[in-house]
Structure 1
Amino acid sequence: MTENAGNSLKRGLAILEVFCEDRLEWTPEELMEKLGYSRPTLYRYLKTLREAGLLSSSASAGFTLGPKVVEMDFLLRKSDALILNGQKHLKNLTERYACTALLVRRYGDRILCVASERSVANPRSSYPRGRPMPLGRGAIARSLMAFLPRRQLVPMIERHMEDLHAIGLGNTVEEVYESLRRVKRAGYAVAFGEVTPGVVGIAAPVYDAGRSPVASVCVTIAGHLINGNDIDEISAHVRQAGLEISEALSLERETEKTI
């Protein structure tokens, strides 16, 4: 791919990046103002994305995400090794406890649920599958951050210092770093009501043969249903699930290298 082609691809993908929960529809004029593209350039990208099914246009001249996104999500569920290897562990956890069990994928500074199971009729969760979660709060975030190499972790702490300070992890970058080191030594993270009030989150990292975690396995459960001993028991099972999923992913990665 040439440099010009690569830049063009990035500029086209930047249009998809502006869609979020707070802005589900954009007019061409709004996109030009947001992205700084000329009208001919923008319309060329919009035409390509619409023809690919990644965008749809409405009668009001606004653009929304298109049906190709749904098709790709279906394919993701059938091909993602994390989901395929982790689903049975989610079922095991929900059979054992009245909870919601989740697999949460990390990419860059974003984390979001890619699979979940539940054994309660009305689960208390603010973040269903596909909705990005805060990186500065909750057991899932800490179960991922705590296991990153220092060179990756410190800049991430700096970017999310306000949230990390607000939940009591420390007043400085070094204090937060030491708090996360304690999570790493434990092998899992526990949080009380940081993401959803009244809910306890217990999470452990998942690896795929690399040094940095790629995902987290988590149990969320109503705080009034458990005590300290229950948390210790659940934490052990969540940590074991993380280890077994990591082992399966690592084995698949090593198998791919030998083919």
Structure 2
Amino acid sequence: MTRTHATVEAAVRVLELFDADRTEWTLSDLARHLNQPTSTVHEQLQTLAGVGLLVRLGRGRYGLGWRLLKLSSALYGSLPWYAPAHDAMERLARGTHLLAFLCVLHGDSVLCVARSVQGRDGPPVAGELDFELPAHATASGKLLLALAGQALPQPTAAFTPQTLTGAAAWNAESRSIRAQGHALSRDEWAPGTSGLAVPVRGEGGAVLAALGLSLPTARLHAAEALLRTLKNAAAEVGWTLGHRG
């Protein structure tokens, strides 16, 4: 690994520690969490704050900087599908009273790029604040992997007894997902949490993202109706993007 690569990787590790659960960090807490010398982490924080990716909040505390918002806006602006898909996600959340989400495939990782909890009923579900999701244990992950024709990422952790980890079982489920056009997870990431996901397709049928719902397993009795709602929402987005499938 080159020095430049190591420097960038270290900066990314620091930035990824800031999330909805932890919006601020102190120098000492970061150094302890990263198991690095305070002087090393201090240099990283100074550099990131100097370019606007972090901001000093006083008393040694740091938060995310405004420049990240500019980068985020530029990213979403470069994705023609994001705005209509995000609108569909919001409508789904309001109409179903469930957590709705948009996910994309990045290598063999699945990233939740947007979620909405508007009007959600019932208890929390697993992964409400996670950005990177276990591809083999979530509906969105299984959908995107299957449609991309990918094998299960290795290693495949067994989160629950229902987590799918074997190659043979995955090959069968992957074929089923491609045939049915949707994916379902039942208690595979955490007991009591299930999910449904369908693809958002663009012109030519290209798979752009997964649109889905996360719900308490007890509500899977309504899976058929929820899938119809999901597929209709995804079809509307696809139509605006030129998909006529």
User: Structure 1 residue 163: deviation in Å?
Assistant: 3.5
**How is 1:74-153 mapped onto 2 (pairs within 5 angstroms)?**
80-108=79-107, 109-121=109-121, 124-128=124-128, 131-149=131-149, 153=150
Helix, strand or coil at the partner of 2:135:
coil
> Is 1:191 the counterpart of 2:185 in the alignment?
yes
Aligned residues: 234
Out of 138-147 and 63-72, give the one that drifted further: 63-72
RMSD: 4.0
Aligned mates of 2:97, 2:9 — CA distance in 1: 41
Helix, strand or coil at the partner of 1:191:
strand
Aligned mates of 2:157, 2:204 — CA distance in 1: 29
2:156 alignment partner AA: M
> Is 1:216 the counterpart of 2:210 in the alignment?
yes
Q: Which consecutive unaligned segments of at least 5 residues does structure 1 have?
A: 252-259
Out of 117-126 and 106-115, give the one that drifted further: 117-126
Helix, strand or coil at the partner of 1:15:
helix
TM-score (norm 2): 0.70
Helix, strand or coil at the partner of 1:161:
coil
> Is 1:202 the counterpart of 2:162 in the alignment?
no
Aligned mates of 1:25, 1:135 — CA distance in 2: 29
Question: Does the C-alpha gap of structure 1 residues 46 and 87 become closer, same or farther in structure 2, counting only changes over 3 Å?
Answer: closer
> Between the two proteins, what is the percent identity of the paired residues?
18
CA contact (8 A) 2:98 2:119 kept: yes
User: Structure 1 residue 119: deviation in Å?
Assistant: 3.0
2:157 alignment partner AA: E
User: Structure 1 residue 57: deviation in Å?
Assistant: 4.8
Aligned mates of 2:158, 2:234 — CA distance in 1: 26
User: Structure 1 residue 10: deviation in Å?
Assistant: 7.3
**How is 1:1-259 mapped onto 2 (pairs within 5 angstroms)?**
8=4, 11-12=7-8, 14-18=10-14, 19-20=16-17, 25=25, 27=27, 30=31, 43=43, 47-57=46-56, 65-73=64-72, 80-108=79-107, 109-121=109-121, 124-128=124-128, 131-149=131-149, 153-154=150-151, 157-163=152-158, 167-169=162-164, 171=166, 173-209=167-203, 213-227=207-221, 230-249=222-241
More helix by share: 1
Helix, strand or coil at the partner of 1:86:
helix
Aligned mates of 1:15, 1:212 — CA distance in 2: 33
1:190 alignment partner AA: L
Question: Does the C-alpha gap of structure 1 residues 81 and 125 become closer, same or farther in structure 2, counting only changes over 3 Å?
Answer: farther
Name the residue aligned to 1:256. Answer: none
